[in-house]
């Protein structure tokens, strides 16, 4: 196959009114097959012409191929018998094409060289030259896997016979991440250069401190530090500044210990770091981070009264202090609940102490002071014990029992410490030393006045309470509770199967002295067999009766 380009064939047409050959030839190239005919077409359509001339240019001279006019076709002897021109449209037909053999040098020694050993972003102009051995070479540039294209501005490519140059002005860090390859090729073969890399120095950019925000105060002695970072090649070096004054702390990390060594750090200060690049000669500061250093509260202790406290007679002063740290707020609690000032409870202006005057029994409890500042909370506790009582004594128990009934009398009196109890019967001391006075079976002689005496050994206070007890014969307790009353009738009923049958009728009923509805079983046990679950009706209202 022998390629022909319309650009090597020149067509001159003598037309009526126009004669531009460039307007009547289509774009090339045009391929042809060896030993076969080829037709070189025109854009003419039935032109009105005086003559049509086809010429061939081999790059050194122009050779006439054929001319057609009204008198006929005139052919160059070199093309005699192999050329024809269509008189209607000017098409040129070449017959029995011949070929010219070209011997090409192999593609080899493809290599990339740079005008610089290293570059600086935004500052440097990088010129890469790709050279190769071979014939009729064409060059392509590749960054990684993406082709590099001449943009006519920052990226410029210039090809020559044996070389190609890629100019990057100015160079960016992304331009040569690569690797960069150059490929040299002709119609027969191609060869790629070894991978090429060129260091592009850049930065520092994005200089930041971590953490970017901090509490207003950092606890002194804590494991706290600032770290500075930046995008930079080569890696940046860092310096630190306190309120724009450089600190003698090299490196990307600024520890709290290094800050504290400088002193005067209690107040809030501004800290920045500055990143420097030794290759680009650029430096950039970070945004500022602001904080102060505060001592933690420690050694918190409450001091309070050490003497015995007695309600109504004593005063308690509690004071709360810390051995280290600045206290910003003080809170007092009793049994984990906040304390409020009152007529008996007074706080100091700075809340460092409190006074209770006079003390009462319910002031006993666990007192806590909480000391706070921005970085810590500390607390201490003090147990306050107030001795009081005994308060009013009280005896609980039956006022009337029957012979052989058990008796239990219980004495109580609010007191701290717990009161000691003694009993008297009809004014005579007994051997009972507990809060309970018990008799297994009542006798007539147990009738009388029982006096409980409660004594607090700490307060020295004693209170008494007297209780009267009457022991009567069996049944006497119930008979004494019944009286004639016209308004009230009682029926005791017994449930047999599904029917309620009357068992006994009493003229009248009065409630048992203690207000219970307990019906004395002894009174009727010899005359009637009472049901297990009887009812009674008072003024037509049914009520449960228990035994």
Q: Are residues 189 and 241 in the same domain?
A: no
CA distance 145 to 292: 53
Cβ atoms within 10 Å of 261's Cβ, excluding its own: 12
The per-residue pLDDT for range 195-222, each reduced to its tens digit, is 999 999 999 999 999 999 999 999 999 9
Q: Are residues 221 and 286 in the same domain?
A: yes
Q: Using an 8 Å Cβ cutoff, are 396 and 409 in contact? A: yes
Q: Residue 382 above 80 pLDDT?
A: yes
Domain assignment present for residue 329? The answer is yes
* Residue 162 or residue 42, greater confidence: 162
Domain assignment present for residue 344? The answer is yes
Q: Residue 180 above 80 pLDDT?
A: yes
Q: Residue 58 above 90 pLDDT?
A: no
Q: Are residues 374 and 424 in the same domain?
A: no
> What order do you get walking across the sheet with 400-402 strand by strand?
400-402, 462-472, 448-455, 420-425, 428-429
Strands 217-219 and 289-294: parallel
Bridge partners (DSSP) of residue 77 are: none
Cβ atoms within 10 Å of 531's Cβ, excluding its own: 16
Percentage of the chain beyond pLDDT 90 is 64
Q: Mean pLDDT throughout 389-408?
A: 95
- The domain that holds 62 is classified in CATH as 2.60.40
Q: What is the pLDDT of residue 45?
A: 77
Domain assignment present for residue 101? The answer is no
Q: Residue 456 above 60 pLDDT?
A: yes
Domain assignment present for residue 461? The answer is yes
Q: Residue 388 above 70 pLDDT?
A: yes
Q: Are residues 444 and 485 in the same domain?
A: no
Domain assignment present for residue 194? The answer is yes
Q: Are residues 89 and 158 in the same domain?
A: no
Q: Residue 68 above 90 pLDDT?
A: no
- Number of compact structural domains in the chain: 6
Q: What is the pLDDT of residue 61?
A: 79
Q: What is the pLDDT of residue 498?
A: 37
Structural domain ending residue among the three candidates 440, 472, 504: 472
* Residue 493 or residue 356, greater confidence: 356
Q: Are residues 142 and 80 in the same domain?
A: no
- Local confidence band at 542 (pLDDT 50, 70, 90 cut-offs): very low
| Length reported for the chain | 547
Q: Are residues 90 and 59 in the same domain?
A: yes
Q: Mean pLDDT throughout 75-82?
A: 85
- Average pLDDT for the chain: 83
Q: Are residues 193 and 215 in the same domain?
A: no
CA distance 198 to 117: 7
Structural domain including 20 reads 6-94
Q: Are residues 335 and 278 in the same domain?
A: no
Q: Using an 8 Å Cβ cutoff, are 170 and 163 in contact? A: no
Q: Are residues 401 and 458 in the same domain?
A: yes
Structural domain ending residue among the three candidates 423, 444, 472: 472
Q: Residue 322 above 60 pLDDT?
A: yes
Domain assignment present for residue 429? The answer is yes
Q: Residue 524 above 50 pLDDT?
A: no
Q: Are residues 343 and 376 in the same domain?
A: yes
Predicted structure pTM score = 0.58
Q: What is the pLDDT of residue 476?
A: 60
Q: Residue 425 above 80 pLDDT?
A: yes
Report, in this order, helix, strand and coil percent for the chain, each rounded to 5: 5, 45, 50
Q: What is the pLDDT of residue 501?
A: 38
Q: Residue 432 above 90 pLDDT?
A: yes
* Residue 532 or residue 279, greater confidence: 279
Q: Residue 303 above 80 pLDDT?
A: yes
Domain assignment present for residue 102? The answer is no
Q: Mean pLDDT throughout 321-325?
A: 95
Q: What is the pLDDT of residue 477?
A: 54
Q: Residue 510 above 50 pLDDT?
A: no
Q: What is the pLDDT of residue 347?
A: 98
Vertex 248 angle, CA 242 and 254, to 5°: 65
Poorest-confidence range of 97-111, 321-335, 476-490? 476-490
Q: What is the pLDDT of residue 519?
A: 42
Residues 6+ apart with CB under 8 A from 145: none
Q: Residue 539 above 70 pLDDT?
A: no
The per-residue pLDDT for range 277-286, each reduced to its tens digit, is 999 999 999 9
Poorest-confidence range of 14-23, 82-91, 418-427? 14-23
Q: Are residues 183 and 114 in the same domain?
A: yes
- The domain that holds 153 is classified in CATH as 2.60.40.10
* Residue spans of alpha helices (H) in 268-316: none
Structural domain ending residue among the three candidates 94, 129, 154: 94
Domain assignment present for residue 103? The answer is no
> What order do you get walking across the sheet with 119-120 strand by strand?
119-120, 200-210, 225-233, 253-255
């Amino acid at each position: 196959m022998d390629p022909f380009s319309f650009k090597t064939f020149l067509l001159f047409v003598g037309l009526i009114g126009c004669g531009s050959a460039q307007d009547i030839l289509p774009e090339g190239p045009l391929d042809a097959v060896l030993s076969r005919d080829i037709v070189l077409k025109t854009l003419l359509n039935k032109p009105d012409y005086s003559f049509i001339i086809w010429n061939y240019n081999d790059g050194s001279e122009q050779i006439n191929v054929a001319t057609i006019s009204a008198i006929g076709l005139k052919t160059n002897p070199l093309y005699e018998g192999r050329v024809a021109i269509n008189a209607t449209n000017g098409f040129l037909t070449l017959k029995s094409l011949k070929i010219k053999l070209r011997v090409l040098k192999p593609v080899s020694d493809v290599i990339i060289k740079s005008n610089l050993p290293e570059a600086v972003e935004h500052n440097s102009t990088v010129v890469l030259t790709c050279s190769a051995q071979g014939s009729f070479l064409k060059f392509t540039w590749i960054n990684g896997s993406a082709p590099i294209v001449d943009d006519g501005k920052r990226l410029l490519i210039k090809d020559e016979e044996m070389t190609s140059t890629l100019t990057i002005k100015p160079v960016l860090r992304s331009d040569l991440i690569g690797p960069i390859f150059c490929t040299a090729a002709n119609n027969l073969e191609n060869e790629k250069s070894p991978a090429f890399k060129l260091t592009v120095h850049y930065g520092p950019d994005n200089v930041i401190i971590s953490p970017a925000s901090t509490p207003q105060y950092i606890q002194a002695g804590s494991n706290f530090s600032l770290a500075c970072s930046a995008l930079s090649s080569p890696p940046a070096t860092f310096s630190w500044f306190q309120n724009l004054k450089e600190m003698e702390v090299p490196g990307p990390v600024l520890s709290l210990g290094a800050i504290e060594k400088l002193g005067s750090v209690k107040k809030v200060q501004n800290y920045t770091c500055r990143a420097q690049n030794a290759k680009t000669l650029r430096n950039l500061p970070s945004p500022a981070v602001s904080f102060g250093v505060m001592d933690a509260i420690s050694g918190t202790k409450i001091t309070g009264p050490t003497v015995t406290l007695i309600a109504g007679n004593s005063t308690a002063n509690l004071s709360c202090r810390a051995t280290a740290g600045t206290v910003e707020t003080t809170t007092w609690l009793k049994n984990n609940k906040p304390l409020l000032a009152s007529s008996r409870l007074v706080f100091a202006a700075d809340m460092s102490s409190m006074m209770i005057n006079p003390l009462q029994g319910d002031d006993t409890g666990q007192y806590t002071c909480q000391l706070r500042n921005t970085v810590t909370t500390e607390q201490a506790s003090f147990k306050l014990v107030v001795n009081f009582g005994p308060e009013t004594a009280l005896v609980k128990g039956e006022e009337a029992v029957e012979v052989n009934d058990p008796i239990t009398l219980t004495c109580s009196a609010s007191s701290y410490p717990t009161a000691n109890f003694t009993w008297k019967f009809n004014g005579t001391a007994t051997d009972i030393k507990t809060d309970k006075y018990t008799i297994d079976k009542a006798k007539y002689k147990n009738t009388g006045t029982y006096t409980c005496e409660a004594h607090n050994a700490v307060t020295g206070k004693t209170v008494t309470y007297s209780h009267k007890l009457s022991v009567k014969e069996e049944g006497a307790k119930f008979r004494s509770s019944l009286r004639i009353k016209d308004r009230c009738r009682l029926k005791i009923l017994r449930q047999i199967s599904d029917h309620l049958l009357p068992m006994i009728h009493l003229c009248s009923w009065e409630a048992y002295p203690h207000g219970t509805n307990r019906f004395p079983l002894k009174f009727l046990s010899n005359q009637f067999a009472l049901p297990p679950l009887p009812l009674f009706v008072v003024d037509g209202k049914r009520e449960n009766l228990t035994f």
